[in-house]
Structure 1
């Protein structure tokens, strides 16, 4: 995905292009009123310029002391509440937010920028582009450190463990290919057995029964059975606390052959300052 294109200011405005190719008109200077509909980006915005963040979703739990108006969820935002906040920009990502809400906000005259994140490289690009080019803010120190730890991707890496990552039960669903989580694990040497073949590497161990759609394509979040997870070849099943809240009493008991480990869903799925903690904690994961 190409970085956002920024054009020279014309009068009191400038235009940037989001990851889906849509032109977004913004103030000529730094953006000072932002609503975030993406929890991980809410944390990134607050860590960079908290005073500019004027609204967030109910799921935006970090930082814990963030005191801004809440506009419901990522997939059912209160569009009227957002409009009433008069944001200069609403921040979304393709995976977490509905095209319908993006379209309706734009029809109401609210500028919306949409990012696409399916890999670690995507996350680094979106963070830098959003903060420095789109919003026009100075580069934060935490982003410099995140880029030092995580980039650039230098191709296939040796896998030290094979893992499976359920995200739901009843029905069971797991993280599949072309996802930020799967790529984050790959970069750390943790092979997601349900990732399937992909251009960035990985073992391609997931074939046949491991969550393939009827047409033979592996879904990004395939539905599977517990038996399929247990027989997947994973060395360990990572059980996050989001979106499904796996606990000591809810999740591990389902697996009879494969060891399980409870992990922070934020470290597996959030891009931004959480990537600093993710690198430290997941790098130490040894089963």
Structure 2
């Protein structure tokens, strides 16, 4: 966003506006310094319960944030909203990430480590995740896939975003890669694309087994799976659990 963020001392009162980055802060050993999180910050489950909730990722309660008097706020360009971020920047140091690829996620973790003075922990974490992703076994030959995140209307993952990057690393060719980041998709569009695999994410819309049949009716030949959205979209320390899960999904696809 073109802003310089000055944090002359190790921050002691951190507000996180992004679930995956909240979990990262705890995994860097900063749990005691996290004073505010969003209502969508679910991990680590027991530890975030006691933190002050500052609203959602798209609708901060600025009066609550003011009461917390943070010396660092961490957000994300896509997940948060510009007007709210700009208002917070008038009062506090607000550090923003902008994530499109796995490499962006590594850079974010390393920069959060630097700004919070936890560089050794961040370096160790990124090293572990990098090693795991080097071992991922993508599907060969690649298969076409569509990844859905919403219902009524159907919305899916297009190109130029983090989930698209993860799909590519798995050997899944995003059938909607030519479209904007999160396009609305009609049944007719999906039928015309006819992907070999349809992945229904558990978030933000909670797709369940009961939704599989409606997609099978649109694309009878497709393999339709419910997948853990956190493992495809959380670009913080949750990535350390992603590769074993992704391998299981790929094994299920291969079994078709």
TM-score under structure 2 length normalisation: 0.87
Match for 2:82 among 94, 99, 116? Answer: 99
The question of 1:274 aligning with 2:238 is answered yes
Distance 1:176 1:161 in 2: 16
SS of the equivalent of 2:52 reads coil
**Runs of 5+ in structure 2 lacking a partner?**
none
Per-residue Cα deviation, 1:148-207 (whole angstroms, up to 9, x for no partner): 2337xxxxx9653321101111111110000100001111222211112xxxxxxxxxxx
Distance 2:77 2:213 in 1: 32
Moved over 6 A (4+): none
1:160/1:26 CA distance change after superposition, 3 Å: same
Distance 1:121 1:115 in 2: 12
Structure 2 residue aligned with 1:21: 2
Structure 1 residue aligned with 2:228: 264
> Mapping of 1:1-287 within 5 angstroms?
20-28=1-9, 30-49=10-29, 50-65=31-46, 66=48, 67-107=50-90, 109-131=91-113, 133-140=114-121, 141-150=124-133, 160-196=142-178, 218-256=179-217, 257=220, 258-284=222-248, 285-286=250-251, 287=253
**Runs of 5+ in structure 1 lacking a partner?**
1-19, 152-156, 197-217
* Residue 226 of structure 1, CA deviation: 2.2
Larger relative CO (CA 8 A, sep 6+): 1 or 2? Answer: 2
SS of the equivalent of 2:173 reads strand
Does the CA-based 8 Å contact 2:12-2:33 persist in structure 1? yes
Distance 2:174 2:243 in 1: 17
Select the structure that is richer in helix: 2
SS of the equivalent of 1:261 reads strand
1:48/1:159 CA distance change after superposition, 3 Å: farther
1:190/1:159 CA distance change after superposition, 3 Å: farther
* Residue 272 of structure 1, CA deviation: 1.7
* Residue 128 of structure 1, CA deviation: 1.0
* Residue 143 of structure 1, CA deviation: 2.8
1:125/1:138 CA distance change after superposition, 3 Å: closer
1:78/1:159 CA distance change after superposition, 3 Å: farther
Which sits farther off after the overlay, 86-95 or 136-145? 136-145
TM-score under structure 1 length normalisation: 0.78
SS of the equivalent of 1:167 reads strand
Distance 1:121 1:138 in 2: 17
Distance 2:246 2:133 in 1: 13
Aligned residues: 240
1:99/1:189 CA distance change after superposition, 3 Å: same
